[in-house]
Chains A and B, each alone.
Chain A
């Protein structure tokens, strides 16, 4: 993957890592679709997801969650694909800050609401 993988290539890698993690955990392995939620539909625990993210960083050489995308915004397989696509884009400081600030505002809002 020279200048960043295509969406299709990313989807393939991500689905492979999710499938591998589910296999090693044991139990049924559902078909993996883009809209599937990681925790709900696919049943990935925090440890499972941690392993998937660690494997993806090792395989792809990028980590979108350190600065670009808050991990808490990732709910589905498609969200994961979008996050890694962003990791290959040229840096856009304003967009990054918007995302991080948005996450911070959301956290403050939840805290005020007692969530």
Chain B
């Protein structure tokens, strides 16, 4: 089998640092050697091309080497995060994984085999084309997570033209399209991946300072926690050049606060989906939520205010759901957008829209206002059924300091009165102590425990 183009590219980087994990630094040469060891291990265990291999781990040396080896071995890879224990058995069944390489947080591993023949037509198509595959599970809030089957080789082709490398913190998990995109962007261009033991604000900021991180790909929720925790002021973040944010809407107030605290940093909004890949984007400026979607490999259109995308790197389909593409290959993102010339602004998911007697409310708009209220550290807005108006706006709020609940609610409503139409003001306000997001620092609006 012809070796994947990335193999030679990694070898070319030689002694350049590739991965910083705990106190150790791995060079590209170290990674290349580890890949060879893993290729031998795969062969020894009968993991041939076309086998579906689940890899559970984080950005540890052997987990990375195993992932890269499986790519070069022509496998169909199912990355799973260390925290995805619940439901991972079901995911492996859906993916028809015949092998699982389970890493722990110390980079120790074990290889498990399963008697699962690969029969799904989409996976058979990859195998017949001798193409490496990637299966990503959506972090959907309702029902079973959908499994997107992608042609991994096609997805990575955009990294063939060489571009500048960055010292990058691996914030997004490797079972997320953003995490995969970041990882292969960095490795393809000879940059450095810095792994952290956790994603707490002080841990991330300490790593930025210690390793001279230039690029931090992250989420709006994390950036907000960065501000609230004060970690941004306890560490030297001068090395940062670019912070990219995505996976959820960015509240304008959070963007303004981050922009003011990191004036030397370029803030860039990203947009992508497991089903499509990550689109090239261009933010109007660091403080703006208006972005231009790039055209390299992608087309987009707006229908009734909803964004549709057609992509050359789109998934082959879901393994466990009907195809979401129309007859011409267009994908309805369900994201409502505003348009201003070549720029769009993402308002939020159509499904999260709250309908109060026919008046539509975007949760993100209300959350943005609530988070400007003194003593609010986080707010999540969602719909609550109501017999009079169909739905009303409900808000869960976490406070920074204790405050009399009734006095707080009066203060919140007065604050909203000056800033929001009345139907957008939360009719129900609940003060909660638990986090509004899961370990991926993505807000959860479905009312269930975030995870």
A residues bordering B, Cβ < 8 Å? 24-25, 46-47, 49-51, 53-55, 58, 63, 65-66, 71
A61 to chain B, nearest CB (A): 13
A69 nearest CB neighbor, chain B only:
B387
CB atoms of A54 and B356 under 8 A apart = no
A45 to B68, CA, bound (A): 62
CB atoms of A54 and B417 under 8 A apart = no
Residues of A within 8 A of B384 (CB): 54
A54 to B393, CA, bound (A): 10
B165 to chain A, nearest CB (A): 54
Asked whether B321 is an interface residue with its Cβ less than 8 Å from the other chain, the reply is no
The residue in A54, A65, A66 that gathers the most chain B C-beta atoms within 10 A of its C-beta is A54
A49 to B423, CA, bound (A): 12
Contact for A51 among B392, B414, B417, CB less than 8 A: B392
Residues of A within 8 A of B422 (CB): 25, 47
A66 nearest CB neighbor, chain B only:
B387
CB atoms of B386 and A50 under 8 A apart = yes
Contacts A46-B357, A58-B428 given: A53-B413 contact, CB under 8 Å?
no
Mostly helix, strand, loop or mixed at chain B's interface?
mixed
CB atoms of B387 and A55 under 8 A apart = no
Q: Kindly list the 5 A-B residue pairs having the minimum CB-CB distance in the complex, ordered from nearest.
A: A65-B387, A50-B388, A71-B387, A50-B389, A54-B427
Residues of A within 8 A of B394 (CB): 54
A63 to B387, CA, bound (A): 9
A107 to chain B, nearest CB (A): 15
A65 to B385, CA, bound (A): 11
16 A-B residue pairs with CB within 8 Å: A24-B413, A24-B417, A46-B389, A47-B389, A50-B356, A50-B386, A50-B392, A51-B427, A53-B387, A54-B386, A54-B392, A54-B427, A55-B427, A65-B387, A66-B387, A71-B387
CB atoms of B388 and A71 under 8 A apart = yes
CB atoms of A47 and B387 under 8 A apart = no
Interface residues on B, range: 10 to 19
A87 to chain B, nearest CB (A): 12
A58 to chain B, nearest CB (A): 6
CB atoms of B388 and A49 under 8 A apart = yes
Per-residue interface assignment for chain B, residues 394 to 409, with 1 indicating a CB less than 8 Å from any chain A CB and 0 otherwise: 1000000000000000
Contacts A66-B387, A71-B387 given: A50-B428 contact, CB under 8 Å?
no
Residues of B within 8 A of A25 (CB): 422
A42 to B249, CA, bound (A): 40
The residue in B357, B389, B428, B430 that gathers the most chain A C-beta atoms within 10 A of its C-beta is B389
A49 to B388, CA, bound (A): 7
A47 to B388, CA, bound (A): 8
B360 to chain A, nearest CB (A): 14
B384 nearest CB neighbor, chain A only:
A54
A44 nearest CB neighbor, chain B only:
B388
A26 to chain B, nearest CB (A): 8
CB atoms of A53 and B428 under 8 A apart = no
Residues of A within 8 A of B357 (CB): 46-47, 50
A24 to B413, CA, bound (A): 8
B358 to chain A, nearest CB (A): 10
B443 to chain A, nearest CB (A): 22
A18 to chain B, nearest CB (A): 13
Residues of B within 8 A of A53 (CB): 386-388
Residues of A within 8 A of B356 (CB): 47, 50
A65 to chain B, nearest CB (A): 4
